[in-house]
Structures are given as structure tokens and as C-alpha cells.
A and B are shown apart, each in its own frame.
Chain A
Amino acid sequence: MYDIAIIGAGIIGTALARELSKYKLRLVLIEKDSDAANGTTKANSAIVHAGFDPEPGSLKAELNAEGSRLFGDLCSELDVPFDRIGSLVIAFSDEELKTLQGLYERGLENNIPDLEIIGKERLHSLEPGLNEDAMGALYAPTAGITDPYLLAIALAENAVQNGVDIKFDSPVSAIEKKEDRFLINCGEEQVEAKCIVNAAGLYADGINEMVNPPSFKIKPNRGEYFLLDKNTGRYAKHVLFPCPTSLGKGVLIAPTAHGNLIIGPNAEAVDSREATETTAEGLDYVRMNAGKLKKTLPFNEVITSFSGLRAKTDHGDFIIEEAEQTPGFVNVAGIDSPGLAAAPGIARYVTDLLKQICGPFEEKRNFKLPAISHTPFMDLDQEKKDELIKKDPRFGRIICRCENITEGEIVRAIRGPVGARTVDGIKKRTRPGGGRCQGGFCGPRVIQIIARELEIELNEVKKDNPGSYILTGPTKGKAVDRRESGPVGECLPTDSGLKIESGIKESYDLIVVGGGPAGMAAAVAARQNGIEDILIIERDHELGGILQQCIHNGFGVHQFKEELTGPEYAERYIDQLKELGIKCKLDTMVLAVGKDRSVTYVNTSDGMTTVQAKAIVLGMGCRERTRGAINIPGTRPAGIFSAGTAQRLVNIEGYMVGRKVLVFGSGDIGLIMARRIVLEGGEVVAVIERKPYSEGLVRNYVQCVEDYGIPMLLKHTIVDIKGKDRVESVTIANTDLNKEPIAGTYREIECDTILFSRGLIPENELSRGAGAELDSSTGGPIVNEAMETSIDGIFACGNVVHVHDLVDWVSDESSRAGKSAADYIKRQDKQPELKGFAFETRPLNSISYIVPHKVRSSLVGDTLELYMRVRGNHRDAILSVAAGGSIIKTVKKKVLTPGEMISIKINKTDLPTEPFEELFIEVVKEDK
């Protein structure tokens, strides 16, 4: 029998379990879900409020103040991030200035330290970028930001280290009060305990009513949020609040503990305790209200949106008391804001209450403080990094390339005292999939690592709760044991014959970042142009990049004059690399590229190292636009993939992603995956496209969609996604001319899987880090005719510059980049004085971009090749090229579509010889 059973492993239950574990008590923590921190703790503002807001004299006031005082020590003991960045409540009118005064006085009554009312000037200097009309603020320097779910997990871990039992997947179904004990039916078993603490959050009223007459009612109140990409955190220096109203604290803007920006929440009473879907209205409200504080917020950097439910009651204050009729039963309910900030205070308060009820408690002498590190590998100092990689090389293998999270951290999260068993569990502990690609790249590898560590099949790995399966089973009904075919992440011996560079060499002539089609072609061209000392650095464990998963045909028609599949095309280049003896480092992640042409990389054998190159070619490729980036509201169950991720899972890992699949977006990858799903025995219920035409190649429409009788719904969009654990249905609607949904056309389609095929984004984090100028229309670096970026000696090519339609053009462009890099290296010591003049290319009228952006006239060969794309469809169009005041070339095109890249070759002799500054290209004539 336990002394105390705590129901609910949110921040309150875990903080209390940990506090009680300091005493000689038999304790059990019972949780209905598969992991700790799975309810309100998982989705909130992550703010540790200073404590000026609650009604003086209330529990909220007392415990917020105490919690805030305790927070710093607690987080440092548990190695959880906490930063007292301070908060500002901002007033925009005289009326609001009065409100500030009221809050300030309350704060004094609540004993909140260091509060200050600040005027306009101080406010704008403390927090630059606020809207001009911000008049003043209440400044609370003790407010902070933290990682609430990591904190709850760290508390649970420490509790377990000190003897607490945790039962997951154990919803409490009945509680019976016997003479001296409670019998608790949870999951499949019965637990006995002398006392119960009800910390069941949204479900606390139901738990209470299992033994007590109703005394409070939980009224779930939803708040929706946007989360923006890392490095947008700098858009707010403090936690920024508007003036509170009767509705609550309002929409805040704050950096997160991990450098993202969080914006939200709204407040909406909802009926269901599981209504954690986002809505178009809620998110619109958040966007609009955030604009009142700061007009210029980078909403184009949104990586996901989410919602959480507050466990509100009518009482207003926290309910922390022993039930009147049931001695030994303690409710800790109605913990809405400032619940997170108050949690450490609540844990102490409840412990004192329990001492009165069933005390005295004897303190343990050997209470253990955790030895578990939660600091991300990348935040450690160099010495510590080296030490970790030496001890466990898996810390040198990056799995999540957006957040640079290593395999070592993921394994640590699984093997910890409260080990992660699910994809979300790992995300909560170490954040892979929490970055801009939202698990698009690392998802399949995280699934593999979980399967390997827990010794289960890939299709047994869950996103979260038991119903949230990710894969439906092996293709062809044939599971091949992964252990039989080689451990995750090790270099594939496929590339036998490839010259693998081992060990650290301090400098190279040329370093190529990325071993996909762009990097390979650039390296080959550089070698053919006389550069011997070349290193390709590839993050995957084989070369070829995305081509390896593109098993369909259609590649190479221009490059090799025959139709190849993706892997065949890749192998042609891999063979050339072998022949030319070009060196590679596989399974190696480049973390930074410097202006000085330094390259910092990490892998399992070299650790984290910085090497020098005379020239660099960037060929990182692109990533897929995610559901989060395009703001599709609804729930966030398993079964949502980007098309390319599904392609990897089906074609390389050999696992099906679903049975009844809906494809959103008619890009080529989506169409090709629709066919793959059907050929592997699945059903594709529809391909949905917002535009009036299919975006992919005509051939892919005919051979992937029409051939298989798949309905293609043009002028349609998704307005809602339903399903708690796994996708159950989507709601679609017709779209108007602006591609917005039309009211009254909504209908639901049943499916268990959604593939997003909504476009590609060049991956330029390294380019940006190096300081290369980027073009907002391509998303790639600005380059000149030599494919050189704005940084001397750093070149770029392929999809990292602009998304190509055919790999053949990637190879072409990359060969030019490779040759240019070779020329650069050869003449490095004796830079020639540039003759002639330079001009820029300017897209006009329906042309969306032109690459290259800049041209140096003297370096143009016989022809200048310009690549571009158009906006909209055009028939019988004329492309007109103008420079130096006259039209120098016109090209007739029967049809121009946005999906197709256009190239125009201009003879050098056609370029004006007199200097000019700009070359314009436009679509001049069309007969509709």
C-alpha cells in the first residue's frame, strides 16, 4: 500500500511527487496518458509570471510569489532552462496607464520585488520595435521563461530517482474509500493508498466526484498560439503583455527558452476537455491582437500553431483543500494561470497540508539531486562536447538538423529514469522535430532509434498515446529486420570504392557542403578544372541526397540522354566521384560556415571541428513546407506527413504511412506519392489543390492520378483536421479566386493520413549564418554569373539557390558553380583586376525571379544563361529581355507555367557593350 497516490503527472503532480519524495513515504504517481506533461503542461505560454496580477490574499497571489522565488533554484537543480527576462505590461492609452497603476499597487501588496512603472522613453529603449503609441509599462524584472514540459519531466525523473513509482497509460476509472485506505482502479490494476492527491487538471472534477459530491466544475478554456522559427526570439526581449481585461491577460509575445518566439493565446470556453485543435478564427484573433503590441512580427516564420486548455473553475482561485466528507482526499484543482509559476509553491503548500492530514513525515537523509543533464549538446562548451563524443560517439551524430540534436541526446531521453517511449516523448525531452521542418527529416530516424532502443517494430512506435500509430506496417508484408541490415546511422557500405576521408585535416582547397546532386556535380566539375584537394561533407550516411528516395523515372533526359530513376542518376555521379577519387565525409553535419571560409562540422569520429577552405560550394538543397507553416487548423494527431517524408518511409524504410490517404497539394512529389500509395496497396481518397490547375507536370497528373482513378479536387482546400490520436477525417471546402475557403461548401472526407505537398523551401540556415545576402523571392542566396554568393569565395548551387523543376538543371548549374570555384581557387593569389562593368537582373511583370541576380560583363562566356520562373499561367507569351534602353532578345513561348523553370540564353554579342546597370525580363504579350 502506498502512503500517497497522486493522480495526474502534469506540472503540479510531478512537482508534488518530487517534493514528497524528500520524505520517507511510499508514493505513486498515476497518469492516464503515455507520458508526463501531456495535458495543460504541454501547451501553454511557458511564462513564469512575476505575480503582480492575482487578487491579493488569494492562494494564487501567495503561491505565485512563492513559486517565482523558488523557480530559479529549482531549474538549476534540475538542469532545466529558466531565464528571468522580465515582463512588460504595456499601456496604449491614459485609461490603460491607470490600469498599470492598479496592477503595480497589487504587486506591492503581493510582495513582488523590483516592480516599476516606466515611461515611454524607457519602455522603447528597453524593448525596441514596439508600436510607436506604446505610452508606458509595468516592468516586472523577476518574470521569466522556462520549458514547462521539460521541467515536469525533470521533476518526475527526480521523483523516480527518489523512489516514486509512476504508472502511465493508467486512467483512473473508480476510487473506493475503505476504512483506512483508498482503492484506486487505474488502467488494468488496482492501487491502494492512504491518501489521494487529485492533480488531474482538466479531469479533476471527475476524479473528485468518484468519492465526493460535486463541489467544483472544470470549464476548459482554450488558448491558441503560434510558434515561430528559432532566432525569431530576438523580436521580443521581454515577455510583452497588453493591459489585462476581464477576458484575461491578453495575447502576449515572448521569446521561448529555446530562442523561438511564442505569440498567443486567445481565450475561448470550449465544451470538450480534448478540444486541443486550433481554429482559423482563434489564430486570426491572435495574429490581430499581437499586432497591437508590435506591428512587424515575422509571421512568415511560423513553424507551427497549437492550442492548450486551461483548467478553469468558477472559483477564480486555486482549489487546494482536503475534501470535506473524505479525509485523506486532497483536491489540487482549478490550476489555471499562474499555475506554472506557482507550481513549486503549490508543491510545498500541499506537502504542508498533507503533513497536517497524515503527518508527521520523516525527512530522507539520502534525497538525491539529479545527475541527469538536460542541457542540449550544442549548448555545452567545447571541452564538454569533446568529452561526451569520446565517451559516446553518438553525441557526434546529428539527427535533428534544424535544432542540431544528436543521437546521443535521443538515446539519453529514452534511457532516462522516466524514459521517452514515443516520438512526442522524445520531442518533449530533447526537441527533435521541434524545429522548422517539424520532423520532416528526422522523423523517420527518430522512429528507428525508438524501435531499436525499445526493441519493437517500426510500426509499433507511437506518436503519443496508444492510438497514435505512425506507420501501418511493412510494404509487401515483408519486414526486414533492421538489425540484420545494419544499425541506424552508420555509414552505408553501399559506397564502397568511395574515398572516405577519415581524421581531421586542417585545410582544403574546396569544401562542398552537401552530397546531393548539386554537391556531387560541383565537386566533379571542380576536379575536372584542376582542383585536387576537395572534400564533400554529407549529413546523411550515403551520397545522393533526395534522389535516393525518388525511385520513379524521369531523371537524366537532358544530362545523360536517357530516362533514369533517381537512384540511378545519383549512382552515375557517385561513380564519377569514385573514379576521380574525390574525398567525402559521410554522416557529418556542417554546423556553421564562416565569412572567412571556415567550416565547422561534427561527426562521430572527428568530434566538433573547424577546418579552413580556399573556396566553399553550398549545396544543402531544400526542405518541404510543413502543415504548421501554412497554418491549417485542426488537431495534431499522428498520420500527418509531408510528401517527401512519406516517400522516404515507403521507398527506403519500406513502411506504409497509412491506409486511406489524402494528398494536399498537387506538387510533383504529392502526385508521385499518390501513385506509390496505390501501388503498395493503400487507397488515395483524393488529391486536393487550392489553385484551378494542377501544379505538377502534366505527365505526373496523367500517370499518377488519372491512371489510378484518383479524384483530383481543384479549387479546394483543407479547413479542418480531425482525430485525437490518429487522423480520422479532414474537412475540405471549395476555394474562391483568392484561394480562400467559401462558406457553405464545407464537407468532411474520411481518411487516416494526410500528405502535404505544398512546395519546397531552400535550406539556407548556413548561408544566413555566414552572412550571405538572401533573395526573398527565391529564399536562396543572391548569386552572380559564377554562382558566387555575396561572400567572396563562397558559391552556391542547386535547390539551395532556387527550387529547380528538373535535377538535370541542378547538375548543369552546379557544374558551373564547381568550375567557378576552381577558377577562384586557381587565381586566388593573383586576383585579376575586373574589366568591364557589372549589372543586375530584374524580374518584371509576371516573372517572379531571375538567377543569377548579378552579372559581371567581362566574366560572361559566349552565352549568359538566365533561369527564372513565372507567376500564373500564360499562353502564347513573349519573354522580352531589355538592357541599356533597348530590347536585346525576345523569346516566344507557347505556354509558361509556374511549375516549370525557364531558361534564356543570351549571346554575349547581344549584350550592349556600353555599361548598363540593369537587365530586365518580362512577359510582354499574351492572348488569353
Chain B
Amino acid sequence: MAETAAKEMICILCPLGCKMQVSEKPGQPEDLKVRGIQCKEGKKYAYEEYKNPTRILTSTVAIHNAPLPRLPVKTSKPLPKGLVYKAMEEINKVELNGPVKVGTVIIKDLLGTGIDVVATRSLG
């Protein structure tokens, strides 16, 4: 069985920014072949970024009765990368009233992920 086509990735862990080629080993989809990187941490990053890339999503929501018209928010944990746009749709729907304290949950269990969207500042 042939190797799957290698995926080009850049390691973000240090300023070297190693270009990596990541592919699944034939017959061992759990194990990955990582070329172009030497360090252990980099290989671990490659594995995670290949199998389940996640991102902290930060944005704002509309807020009334507050000194500013937008409240900054973030996901409480890294979100599967594929859900970013869907999450934005949810975040864009929110309209709330001040005052709000930093850390307040704005959306509970975003898209059924168990991850919350929380306020990143106090306002009002």
C-alpha cells in the first residue's frame, strides 16, 4: 500500500518555522511519518496539527448599555479548526446587555463541543 500524499505544514513552535511533510504510514494510520523536522516537540506538534488541529477563537459580541459597543470574547479552550466559521455564526448572533465581568460565560457549550465562549474583559 502506498503512502498517502504528504501534507505540507509549518511548525510554529520556534522562529525556525521548519517546513514539514506529514504523511500517514501505510497500514498504520495512527502513526505518522514526519519529514523536515528534528526536534521532539516539533514532531508532537505535527501529530496534533495533522490529526486534530485546534485554535483558540477570539472575536467580539455586540453589547448594549455598556461604555463600548463591542465586548471581546474567546473560546474557553481550543476549538476544532473546522468549526471556526460555524462558531463565528453563533458568536455573531449574540446581543447582550452590560455590565459584564471578565470570564463570564457568553455562550455555553458552543456547538455541542463542551467549550464555552467567555468575556475577555469587564465592561460597564
Contact = CB atoms under 8 A, between A and B. Distances in A.
Interface of A: 474-480, 482, 484-486, 492-494, 548, 551-553, 563-565, 567-568, 570-571, 651-654, 679-680, 697-699, 701-703, 706-707, 875, 894-897, 899-900
| Closest CB pairs A-B (n = 4) | A480-B69, A567-B121, A698-B17, A551-B72
Contact of B69 (A482, A553, A563, A894): A482
A707 B15 contact: no
| Residue of B59, B60, B68, B124 most packed against chain A (CB within 10 A) | B68
Interface residues of B, number: 38
B9 to A, nearest CB: 8
Contacts of A706: 10
A571 B102 contact: yes
Contacts of A899: 15
Nearest to A569: B120
A651 B60 contact: yes
Contacts of B25: none
B62 A480 contact: yes
Contacts of B70: 475, 480, 651-654
B64 A480 contact: yes
A474 B95 CA distance: 13
Contact of B60 (A475, A482, A895, A900): A475
A494 B67 contact: yes
Contacts of A652: 68, 70
Contacts of A701: 10, 17
Contact of A563 (B17, B56, B102): B56
Contact of B74 (A492, A494, A565): A565
Contacts of A475: 60, 70, 92
B4 interface: no
Nearest to A563: B56
Nearest to A805: B15
B107 interface: no
B16 interface: yes
A485 B12 contact: no
A875 B14 CA distance: 13
Contacts of B56: 553, 563
Contacts of A553: 56, 58, 74
Contacts of A493: 67, 124
A654 B91 CA distance: 14
Interface in B35-89: 55-70, 72, 74, 81, 84, 88
Contacts of A651: 60, 70, 72
B117 interface: no
Interface of B: 10-12, 14-17, 55-70, 72, 74, 81, 84, 88, 91-92, 95, 98, 102, 120-124
A679 B59 contact: yes
Contacts of A551: 58-60, 72, 74, 120
Given A551-B72, A565-B72, 16 more contacts: A475-B70, A478-B62, A479-B69, A480-B64, A485-B64, A548-B121, A551-B58, A551-B60, A553-B58, A563-B56, A565-B74, A567-B120, A568-B102, A571-B122, A654-B62, A697-B15
Nearest to A654: B70
A279 B91 CA distance: 44
Contacts of B122: 494, 571
Contacts of B65: 484-485
B17 A653 contact: no
A329 to B, nearest CB: 53
| Residue of B11, B60, B66 most packed against chain A (CB within 10 A) | B60
Contact of B81 (A486, A653, A707): A707
Contacts of A474: 69
Contacts of A896: 15
A707 B55 contact: yes
A703 to B, nearest CB: 6
| Residue of A679, A701, A875 most packed against chain B (CB within 10 A) | A679
B120 A654 contact: no
Nearest to B17: A698
Contacts of B120: 551, 564-565, 567-568
B124 A679 contact: no
A679 B68 CA distance: 20
Nearest to B85: A679
| Residue of A476, A479, A492, A564 most packed against chain B (CB within 10 A) | A476
Contacts of B124: 493-494
Contacts of B61: 476
A831 B60 CA distance: 51
Contacts of A563: 56
A484 B60 contact: no
A478 B70 CA distance: 10
Contacts of B14: 698, 894-895
22 contacts: A475-B70, A478-B62, A480-B63, A482-B69, A484-B64, A485-B65, A485-B66, A485-B68, A486-B68, A494-B123, A548-B121, A552-B58, A553-B74, A563-B56, A565-B72, A567-B72, A679-B88, A698-B12, A701-B10, A703-B55, A707-B84, A875-B16
Nearest to A551: B72
Nearest to B49: A702
B89 to A, nearest CB: 10
A153 B120 CA distance: 46
Contacts of A653: 68-70
B114 to A, nearest CB: 19
